[in-house]
Amino acid sequence: MAVELVQKTKKLSREAKMEDEAEIYDGVRAQFPLAFGKQSKPQTSLEAIHSATRRTATPKLPENRPSSSPSSANNANNDLPSLSSSSKDWLTSLRNPKTSNPHPDFSSSGAPATAEAGLIGPPRPPLDRSSSLDDDGGVMIGPPRPRPAQSGSDDEEEGMIGPPRPPPVQSDDEEEEMIGPPRPPPGLGVGDSGSDEDDEAEEENRYRIPLSNEIVLKGHNKVVSALAVDPSGSRVLSGSYDYTVRMYDFQGMNSRLESFRQLEPSEGHQVRNLSWSPTADRFLCVTGSAQAKIYDRDGLTLGEFVKGDMYIRDLKNTKGHISGLTCGEWHPKTKETILTSSEDGSLRIWDVNDFKSQKQVIKPKLARPGRVPVTSCTWDREGKCIAGGIGDGSIQIWNVKPGWGSRPDIHVEKCHLDDITGLKFSSDGRLLLSRSFDGSLKVWDLRQIKEPLKVFEDLPNHYAQTNIAFSSDEQLFFTGTSVERESTTGGLLCFYDRAKLELVSRVGISPTCSVVQCAWHPKLNQIFATAGDKSQGGTHVLYDPTLSERGALVCVARAPRKKSVDDFEAKPVIHNPHALPLFRDLPSRKRQREKELKDPMKSHKPELPMTGPGFGGRVGTTAGSLLTQYLLKQGGMIKETWMEEDPREAILKYADAAAKDPKFIAPAYAQTQPDPVFAKSDSEDEEK
């Protein structure tokens, strides 16, 4: 009994202790939020995310660089694509590893290496601490004692005379073996410090082109011919030859890179240009039709400009364009004004609040009367100057001022040999860039515009929307190239230095698609390039995680949301018993079809149609045939006896009726015709 009592007492004390601990735990736990102590989900590092979008190496460029590039010889072996500054530093660190013990004879506590100390010439002999002291403990003066020979060493090492051999270069790059003397370490200041690689690294660091990573905004079925990025860099518009406009939102887009809206401004007309307003609340859409459209930020139609009267000869008397549009651009400062150009040979300035008539009509100056299309147009940065590319190859510039007319202030004839596809002013208003179908890009100085400052050739162009763009700091300007039939380079982006007027870099965008539109957004520090062909199209976004901001970095790092049970939506079933038979949902006929298949009559294969009066013993297959066939099929209601009768008897049985009641021929010849005498039948003679 005493033992049982002790056990019960221990059990009760243990339970009381557990209850006290549970109360203490609940009291302490109540002081913390519910999320405290939960394990967080493992997150993918940004390095792993951006490594998936890193641009891969592409084939080398051909050795025949454009003649306009003086540095083509130095850059002949550059690979595509170009490397960014961060990638260049990474490669430099691999090529020149910093080793704490460059010489095998040096100990970790010995003298520094020759390269680290910055010495020139053969290295000093190593300091042997074990033999540098004499027997009395003093410091030995003079050359060091020879080291004892080690077992297993070569004869040459036993009797080494002179300075030690240079250390073997250890590099992590095992792809190719180094031939010749090792590279000098950076910082020696000797003659080889100004190598081509260092110059390229300096160029990359100076321009800081974001080219290390790339994403593609897909969705179009043909080449993307129009591009517009709003000033904040959050939304991107792309228009294509497939007649559609797609809208992308970086803030709401995940790694699937899907557009949130698709528009078709004008059915059957290509999209040729897109332009945001200065406040980014509306955008202009220019298609191959004669009417431009205005949309709001979400893609809702705000209005469509009127079409002019095509039977009026003077274009100034019409209220709008009468032929397909070629280009259009919003005013850079005023949110109520836009500019359009057309194939009818005019430029028009519009007020977005009045869609029924334009504000002003600009007719370019022509050598002879007629209608020459205006292929491109643009504003300068302040909106005080308009430039237009005319179909005859000339460039005409008008200054916007009170009382100005159609007479151009600057008229340069025969600027290009073919149509001009793109014009671009510099921000300071000194330079004008022009791009043409003739495969050239020309730089013009507006103060001396008679001759171009520089002409860059060998830039194939097959699209009327190919443009030119400046970098964010305007140290560079660049344009895209088209793919030719026998070319092996593909679509490229060619970057040029504005100060030196020389080729800086050529970046491969697509091996099979041409590059049409391009842009460098100043806030995002990202490069946009549209490309495509007859079967596909997309917008390539180039960025660098160390240089760019927001934009592509945001959407790439945002994973698509997983579907949950709450995302399931059952389609509602609408019952409308009083609907018309055309709109009424028919009941299922599955059981009826199964029953009909078992019926031998209904499942009988129909007979082939008849092609003649009868074939194979069949006279008629249906009751809807000819009447004779129907009667013959119903059991011989019409009996054909002419096959059994004598033709002579069949005629003579009507002889009495013809003699008593002649109707047609006999009365006409009654007086002149002799009496017919018919021979008797042979059968009668036989009977007699």
Domain boundaries, the chain: 207-560
Q: Which of 229, 225, 220 is nearest to 258 (CA)?
A: 220
5: tokens are: 């009592």
In this structure, of 343-352, 454-463, 636-645, the range with the lowest mean pLDDT score is 636-645
Residues 422/468, Cβ–Cβ less than 8 Å: yes
232 vs 565, which has greater pLDDT? Answer: 232
Mean pLDDT within 48-56: 82
Q: How far is 443 from 435, CA to CA, in rounded Å? A: 9
| pLDDT for res 324 | 94
- The one-letter amino acid code at 637 reads M
- Sheet bearing 293-296, strands edge to edge: 271-276, 282-287, 293-296, 301-304
Strands 410-412 and 420-425 turn out to be unpaired
What is the Rg, in whole angstroms, of the alpha carbon atoms belonging to the chain? 47
Residue-wise over 34-59: b if at least 16 C-beta within 10 A, else e? Answer: eeeeeeeeeeeeeeebbeebebeebe
| pLDDT for res 71 | 40
| pLDDT for res 618 | 65
444: pLDDT strictly greater than 70: yes
Percent of the chain with pLDDT over 70: 69
Percent of the chain with pLDDT over 90: 39
- Going by pLDDT thresholds of 50, 70 and 90, the confidence category of residue 59 is very low
**pLDDT tens, residue by residue, 138-168:** 444 444 454 444 444 444 444 456 666 666 5
57: pLDDT strictly greater than 50: yes
- Going by pLDDT thresholds of 50, 70 and 90, the confidence category of residue 190 is very low
**pLDDT tens, residue by residue, 198-211:** 555 555 557 889 98
Report H helices in 1-117. Answer: 2-29, 46-51, 85-95, 114-117
Mean pLDDT within 672-681: 71
419: pLDDT strictly greater than 70: yes
DSSP tag of 184: P
9 vs 275, which has greater pLDDT? Answer: 275
- Residue 423's alpha-carbon distances to 276, 289, 354, 380, 469, in angstroms, are 18, 22, 27, 10, 9
688: tokens are: 């007699």
- Going by pLDDT thresholds of 50, 70 and 90, the confidence category of residue 188 is very low
| pLDDT for res 583 | 78
| pLDDT for res 61 | 42
CATH number at 207-560 = 2.130.10.10
Q: Which of 248, 251, 250, 252 is nearest to 239 (CA)?
A: 248
pTM above 0.75, yes or no: no
98: pLDDT strictly greater than 50: no
- Going by pLDDT thresholds of 50, 70 and 90, the confidence category of residue 130 is very low
Average pLDDT, the chain: 77
Mean pLDDT within 23-27: 78
| pLDDT for res 675 | 74
